[in-house]
Amino acid sequence: MRFQYTEKKVTLPENVHKYAEKKVMKLERFFGTDADALVTFSVEKNRNNVEITVHAANTYFRASESTSDMFASIDAAVATIERQIRKNKTRLARRLRQDAFVRTPDETSFAPEEPEEGTFELVRTKKFNMKPMTREEAIPIIKARDGKLDPLCVRDFCDFCGYTESEFWAIMDKFYNRDLFEKNDCGEWQLKHPIWEENK
């Protein structure tokens, strides 16, 4: 794995760089030598920020962590990347090294074991009798949800990809279809022509 680092408005001692390289290089066991890792250090308002981007197996993994201690931020960012890899190891299986998930005796992992993607345990089943909705019943539901992103889904997506929610919305702002959406007085995107206003 090829390791690089950059510093933004901060100069760190060499032992921090070496510590980061040692921790990040442990991810090499997933990919082998054909991978690139970039670590960006910054300090803002007494918070030590570490951003790690790993490019390997035609995939980007990114994590950004901020704590009061630079070493703790490094550990947290590496753990986040490892969780991303483990969470998707079924999908990535063909791209990763064959023995990537085989633990060695002296290995220390900061990421807890998580269930493998695609493995589920059926706990109980429940049946619901569903009847068709009338237009009048559907309109309040559509008004509440149409054109809106579920905040929990946004949070989970950001956690997985390593983005902050502000970074996510900054990206989304660029891609909203201006023919369909417009911003209201609160700066929130809303539909220009809601479906419930049609055929009144």
What are the pLDDT digits (tens) for 173-193? 888 888 888 888 877 777 888
What pLDDT score was predicted for residue 51?
92
3-state secondary structure of 156: helix
Instruction: Compute the average pLDDT of residues 43-48.
Output: 86
3-state secondary structure of 159: helix
Of the candidates 69, 39, 75, 37, the one whose C-alpha atom is nearest the C-alpha of residue 54 is 37
Question: Which tokens go with 153?
Answer: 């889904």
What pLDDT score was predicted for residue 57?
67
pLDDT at position 105 over 70 = no
Work out the burial of residue 120: count CB atoms within 10 Å of its CB; fewer than 13 is exposed, 13-18 middle, 19 or more buried. Answer: exposed
Of the candidates 92, 94, 64, the one whose C-alpha atom is nearest the C-alpha of residue 79 is 64
pLDDT at position 4 over 80 = yes
pLDDT at position 117 over 50 = yes
CB neighbours of residue 31 within 10 Å = 23
Query: pLDDT per residue over 60-102, tens digit each?
Result: 888 899 888 899 999 999 988 888 877 766 655 555 545 454 4
Q: How confident is the model at residue 120 (pLDDT cuts 50, 70, 90)?
A: low
Q: Is the pTM of this model over 0.75?
A: no
Across the chain, mean pLDDT equals 77
Strand 35-44 and strand 2-8: pairing? parallel
